[in-house]
Amino acid sequence: MKWKEHLKTINKHKLTVMSLCFRAGLYKQGLLHDLSKYTPVEFLVGAKYYQGTRSPNAAEREIKGYSTAWLHHKGRNKHHLEYWIDYSLDEGSPMTGMKMPIKYVAEMFCDRVAACKVYKGESYTDSSALEYYEHSKEHYLINPDTARLLEFLLKMLRDNGEELTLLYIKHRLLHKKTY
C-alpha cells in the first residue's frame, strides 16, 4: 500500500506549497503547483520507490542511474532551476542556468520550504531549507542572479521567519520588474 502513503505525501506537499504560495500572492501557481506528480509516469514511480523520508526520485536514481519521474517533472514545472538549463552562448561552457522569472523563484522558495516541512516533520526549523540548499548547491547549474535571489529569500526565512519573508515576496518582490 505504498501508493496510498505516496499519495498522502504528495497531497500534503501540494497543500503546503499552495498555502505558502497563496500567502505570498502566487494564487495561480499555488493551484497549479506540481500537478504533473499525479500523472502515471511520475505517480507510479513515486509509489514504487516511496520511502516517506525523502524523494522517491532519489531511490529510482540510485537503482537505475537516472529518474524517469524527475526527468518528466523538471521538464514541466518552471519552478525548478533545472527547467531553465539551456545551451550557453559562452564558448567555454556548453550548458548554463538561465535567469528565472521572479514568480518562479518565489514558487521555488515555497516548494523548498514545503519539501523540508513534509520530509523533516517535527524537526523542521526556519533554517532547514537554507541548510538543504547549502548542502546541495555545489552541483546546481543555476544562474548566479537566480542563486543570489533564492539564497536571499532562504536567509530571510532563517533570520526573520516565514511570515515576514512571505510578506516581502507578496508586497515587494513580485512587484519588481527584475532582480
Query: Has residue 146 been placed in a domain?
Result: yes
- Cβ neighbours of residue 103 closer than 8 Å, sequence gap 6 or more: 26, 29, 174
Domain that holds residue 126: 83-175
pLDDT digits (tens, 9 = 90+) for 84-103: 999 999 888 899 999 999 99
Q: Is residue 168 part of a domain?
A: yes
Q: pLDDT tens for residues 144-178?
A: 999 999 999 999 999 999 999 999 999 999 999 88
Q: Is the pLDDT of residue 1 over 80?
A: no
In order of 66, 72, 119, the CA distances from 55 in angstroms are: 13, 14, 9
What is the number of domains present in the chain? 1
Residue-level length of the chain: 179
Report yes or no on 78 lying in a domain. no
* Predicted TM-score (pTM) of this structure: 0.94
Task: Flag whether pLDDT at 111 surpasses 80.
Answer: yes
φ, ψ for residue 87 (rounded to 5)? Answer: -65, 140
Q: What pLDDT, in 10s, does the model give residues 28-86?
A: 999 999 999 999 999 999 999 999 888 899 999 999 999 999 999 999 999 999 999 99
